[in-house]
Amino acid sequence: MNLPFLGEYSLNTLRGDILGGLTATVISMPIAVAFGVASGLGAIAGLYGAIAVGFFAAVFGGTNTQISKPTAPMTVAMAVIVTTYADTFGQAFAIVVIAGIFQILLGISRIGRYVAYTPRVVVSGFMSGIGLIIMTMHLLPLMGAEPSHGGALGTLAELPEAINSVNFQALAVGCLALAITILWPSKVGKFLPGPVVAIVVGTVISIFWLTDVPTVGQLPTGLPTIQAEFPSLSFILRSLEPALILALLGSVDSLITSLVADTLTGTRHKSNRELIGQGIGNIASGLIGGLPCSGSTSGTVTNIRAGGKTKVSGVLYALLMLGLLLGLGAFVEPIPLAALAAVLIKVGWGIIDWRIVSRIHRVNRVQVIVFLLTLCLTCFVSLIVAVAVGLIVASMAHAQTLEKFELDSVISVPILDQVFLGENVDASTVDPYSARVGLVSLKGIFSVASSSNLVEAIAKDIQDHEVVIFDFSETLYMDDSAAMVIDQLTEVAMQNNTTFIVACLHGAVEQSLTALDILRQIPDKHIVETMDEARKLARQILEPTNLAENQ
DSSP 529: S
Residue whose C-alpha is closest to residue 255's, from 241, 276, 240: 276
Whether 449 has a pLDDT exceeding 60, the answer reads: no
Q: What local confidence, expressed as pLDDT, does residue 149 receive?
A: 61
Cβ neighbours for 257, distance < 8 A, ≥ 6 positions apart: 63, 66, 294, 295, 296, 297, 300
Residue whose C-alpha is closest to residue 259's, from 274, 237, 249: 274
Q: How far is CA 222 from the centre of its chain?
A: 37
**CA 202/CA 544 separation, integer angstroms:** 96
Which of residues 2 and 189 earns the better pLDDT score?
A: 189
**CA 314/CA 127 separation, integer angstroms:** 21
The helix or strand, by DSSP H or E, that contains position 294, with its residue range, turns out to be strand 294-295
**CA 510/CA 472 separation, integer angstroms:** 9
Query: How far is CA 381 from each of CA 34, 90, 246, 260, rounded to the nearest angstrom?
Result: 21, 31, 18, 20
CB atoms closer than 10 angstroms to residue 430: 17
**CA 368/CA 358 separation, integer angstroms:** 12
From 253-257, 333-337, 445-449, 519-523, the region with the lowest mean pLDDT: 445-449
Counting DSSP H helices and E strands in the chain, the numbers are: 24, 11
pLDDT digits (tens, 9 = 90+) for 92-122: 888 999 999 999 998 898 876 666 566 777 7
pLDDT digits (tens, 9 = 90+) for 451-483: 566 666 676 667 677 788 888 877 777 777 777
> How many residues in the chain?
551
Catalogue the E-assigned strands of 16-159: 68-69
Whether 391 has a pLDDT exceeding 50, the answer reads: yes
**What is the dihedral sign for C-alpha 181, 184, 187, 190?**
negative
pLDDT digits (tens, 9 = 90+) for 208-228: 888 788 877 776 666 776 666
Highest mean pLDDT out of 38-47, 142-151, 269-278, 510-519: 269-278
54 and 281 Cβ atoms separated by less than 8 Å: yes
pLDDT digits (tens, 9 = 90+) for 356-369: 787 777 777 777 88
**Phi first, then psi: what are they for 437, rounded to 5°?**
-115, 135
Whether 182 has a pLDDT exceeding 60, the answer reads: yes
**What is the dihedral sign for C-alpha 28, 31, 35, 36?**
positive
Give the three-class secondary structure for 334. Answer: coil
Whether 123 has a pLDDT exceeding 50, the answer reads: yes
**CA 488/CA 491 separation, integer angstroms:** 5
**Phi first, then psi: what are they for 85, rounded to 5°?**
-105, -20
Entry pTM: 0.65
Q: What local confidence, expressed as pLDDT, does residue 550 receive?
A: 35
Highest mean pLDDT out of 72-76, 272-276, 344-348, 481-485: 272-276
**CA 98/CA 357 separation, integer angstroms:** 41
Whether 6 has a pLDDT exceeding 60, the answer reads: no
15 and 191 Cβ atoms separated by less than 8 Å: yes
Whether 161 has a pLDDT exceeding 70, the answer reads: yes
Highest mean pLDDT out of 3-12, 305-314, 416-425: 305-314
453 and 403 Cβ atoms separated by less than 8 Å: yes
Whether 7 has a pLDDT exceeding 70, the answer reads: no
**CA 280/CA 327 separation, integer angstroms:** 27
